Amino acid sequence: MRDGPRWQTIIDLLDQTFNDRVPADLAIRRWSKSARFAGSKDRRFIGDNLFDIFRQLGALKFQLAEAGGDINSARQIALLAAGAGAKELFDGSQHAPAAVSDNEGALLEKALAVEVPAEQAMALPDWAQAHFAASFGGDDAWRAEATALLSPASVDLRLRSAKDDRDDMLKTLGARGVDVDATPISPLGLRISGRFAAGDVPELNDGQLEIQDEASQLCALLVDAQPKMQVLDLCAGAGGKTLAMAGQMAGQGRLLAVDADDHKLEEGRRRVKRARWPHIELLHADALTAPEDALAGDWDRVLVDAPCSGSGTWRRAPDARWRMDADDLDALVELQGKLLDRAASLVKPGGLLCYVTCSMLSVENNQQIQSFMNRSSDFSVVDFDASWAAIFEDGEIPAVHRQEAGWMMTPALNGTDGFYMAVLKREA
């Protein structure tokens, strides 16, 4: 493909995300399946530029607004993102965007001259900026986290279990030319820098390795699922943390993974089959409405990996912040509270309720747990140091954002996705 047609594809994909709220990665996958003529370089160019636009969208919209443009126009946003050379790309040739009109040329020149304030460059929607400021306190802290979310994320992998030799895997992947290192904190993690070919890591296809961010790995490990326990993963999704906990349990005990999204659960079924953990059960059900007998068990651990804003993963999905609004966040906060209440009723005395989000917003994290504790006298917060020492007896306790009712790892502090976790013990 020539660059002109590539940019027309970018405009089409922007339209899908703006108007239909289709996730950018899904839009790209759908296009790739239909565009048999496109090569790997085309897909990379389109994907990289599309994601870069979402990372710059706050600045681009500000420039367009100041210049009198339409901030909801995919064409105008793409035109501005293409920059000074846009007229050569938008030339009206076959499959390329229509030629730049005189009015568009004047708009482009005016918009490019607009200086962007730092807060607009951080690409946080108005609703999110207020929550970031409230969640991290001082201006420097929340701005550092917002800025960190503009950088692409590394790819973290997790070994199937602690019995696997990480050093051997590092040597194997390194010999294939993969730029890989051990993750700084997770004992099961490997971190790939830069791009890699899927064929260079065949272990992803046979269950030896799974893609999972280091912070997510640590959340799963700190559930402290042990052999012969009964463990309930109430919002399992595609099973990333389910599989990590299965490794802790060494295939012994009962591990029930529940999710209302059958598409995610189907992916979980494939992953469970690859990983060869016989004690995992999968249940397609809504955690809030599933009958009691469907979730019956003497649960030592109940994990609520709650639906959330996903703000901690915006490095990987920079479009997601623009597909949400304040009403969406309010609905998620309400759902999280209901899930906590349902989960609490399932934990046996002495058992642990583990609450996890991939959010960095206090309203979904610390505030959510504090509200739960105010209405649930049977639970106490397990101290982070105690949780850590129970799993990593010889490990140095990492730097985390410590909060009244949990802890959080973030891109700026830890180089991971943003993840929050609270561990609560049922006393009676």
Cα within 13 Å of Cα(17), Cβ side: 30
Q: Are 106 and 67 in contact (CB under 8 A)?
A: no
Q: In this structure, what token pair is assigned to residue 208?
A: 């030896």
Range 327-336 contact pairs with CB under 8 angstroms and sequence separation of 24 or more: 329/127, 329/131, 329/361, 329/363, 329/364, 332/307, 332/308, 332/364, 333/363, 333/364, 333/368, 335/306, 335/307, 336/304, 336/306, 336/307, 336/308, 336/364, 336/368
Q: Are 408 and 420 in contact (CB under 8 A)?
A: yes
CA angle 55, 19, 31 (to 5 degrees): 75
- Alpha-carbon span 226 to 224, nearest angstrom: 6
- Give first-to-last CA distance, the chain, whole Å: 65
Q: In this structure, what token pair is assigned to residue 86?
A: 């846009």
Q: In this structure, what token pair is assigned to residue 387?
A: 């949780």
Whether 235 is catalytic is: no
Q: Are 317 and 393 in contact (CB under 8 A)?
A: no
Q: In this structure, what token pair is assigned to residue 20?
A: 């239909």
Q: Which of these is catalytic: 235, 308, 354, 358?
A: 358
List active site positions. 358
